[in-house]
Amino acid sequence: MAEREFLSPYAALSSESRGRDREEPPCDIRPCYQRDRDRILHCKSFRRMKHKTQVFLSPEGDHYRTRLTHTLEVAQIARTIARALRLNESLTEAVALGHDLGHTPFGHAGERILNEICPDGFAHYTQSVRVVEVLEKNGQGLNLTWEVRDGILNHRLSGHPHTLEGQIVRLSDKVAYINHDIDDAIRAKIFREEDIPREYTDVLGDSVKSRLNTLIHDIIYQSMGQPDIRMSPDVERAMTDLRKWMFENVYSNPVAKSQEPKAQHLLLMLFDYYTKHIHEMPPEYLDIMQARHETKERIVCDYIAGMTDSYAIDRFNELFVPMSWKI
């Protein structure tokens, strides 16, 4: 087939996939990873990401990243690297588009509070797998291939994807969010480009464009002809240290994070309400709970994690904020 002829010997071939949990007849025009990409692109969870916080909660402005635009930037970076290395672009893109489907409203603040209150804990990467295996299509899931689910599960920093395509997404996620979060922080006037320490910019570049160019080229050159995806020691160290600097100056910044306690309290109130009024949940969640013998806490967590920022606020207002009386 064309993949075997044109792709690298290290590429994950569609014909060698471990397959799906439920067997399906093959498509006559699309290999299995392309079908997975299409399924993710058309699912409801993917569309909802456009109204979920990336870093800045409910910013005033149209140009701040959301969870969806972050996902698209990861996919673009990952495909660029995969194409240069002659790896499987469809698998790479499917993992990239699906890696954050399980993210909560209000970004990592929402993730932290759900992890505290859900009896089984909560992590967005495991929730992303649950979305594609269970929650989508009213409990049927998307029935994706093993390789795509493995890449989604292991995209976190400590993950170990089994395919090079999954490894590309794991790095591309960090490359994307470090750089676009810098761009958003500068837009929010939290710091200036000149405030970033020279020890990082001398290695990576002094603009978002130059840093992306440096990081992407470094990954490609260091990984070419290799059985893994790697970076040069100097560039990797500079990126890792810049990420730490971002945690100190953006991700923990009191200005950027001032509304997070309110958002967490909102989600806590919703969780408490729905666990006490489980039958007010949407019917599809109750059906999943019954069919899979799930606990009510697990299914309420699923419902809240799937909410957009605005929907969570609307539900809170409807449940807890008095409305004006009128005839």
24 pLDDT above the threshold of 70: yes
Question: Is 36 inside any structural domain?
Answer: yes
The pLDDT, as a whole number, for residue 2 is 82
Residue 101's contacts (CB-CB under 8 Å, 6 or more residues apart) are 40, 43, 45, 46, 49, 127, 128, 131, 132, 152
For residue 2 the two structure tokens come to 């064309």
Q: Is residue 1 part of a domain?
A: no
- DSSP calls for 143-208: --BHHHHHHHHT-STT---SSHHHHHHHHHHHHHHHHHHHHHHHHTTS--GGGS-HHHHHHH-SSH
Domain presence at residue 49? yes
**Domain contains 158:** yes
Q: Count the domains in the chain.
A: 1
* pLDDT band at residue 62 using 50, 70 and 90 as cut-offs: confident
| CATH code, 63 | 1.10.3210.10
Tell me how far CA of residue 140 lies from CA of 22, 46, 115, 170, 299, in angstroms: 10, 16, 25, 27, 15
Q: Enter the tokens of residue 215.
A: 């990081």
The CB-side HSE value for 303 (13 A sphere, CA atoms) comes to: 29
Q: What is the mean pLDDT of residues 209-225?
A: 97
Residue 135 DSSP label: I
Mean of pLDDT values over 75-95: 98
> For the whole model, what pTM was predicted?
0.95
Q: Which domain holds residue 166?
A: 30-251
| H-helix segments, the chain | 2-6, 32-41, 44-48, 67-84, 89-98, 107-117, 124-130, 136-139, 146-153, 164-187, 198-204, 208-223, 233-246, 260-276, 283-292, 296-305, 309-320
Q: What is d(CA 178, CA 240) in angstroms, rounded to the nearest whole number? A: 10
In sequence order, what DSSP letters do the residues of 254-280 get, joined into one string?
A: TTTTTTHHHHHHHHHHHHHHHHHSGGG
Distance, C-alpha 315 to centroid of its chain: 24
Residue 231 domain-assigned (yes or no): yes
248 DSSP assignment: I
Question: Is residue 62, in this structure, part of any structural domain at all?
Answer: yes
Q: What is the pLDDT of residue 157?
A: 85
Q: What is the mean pLDDT of the chain?
A: 94
306 occurs within a structural domain: no
Flag whether 161 is in a domain: yes
Q: Specify the residue for token string 């409801």.
A: 44
Mean pLDDT check: name the lowest of 1-15, 129-143, 271-285: 1-15
Structure confidence at residue 53 (pLDDT): 87
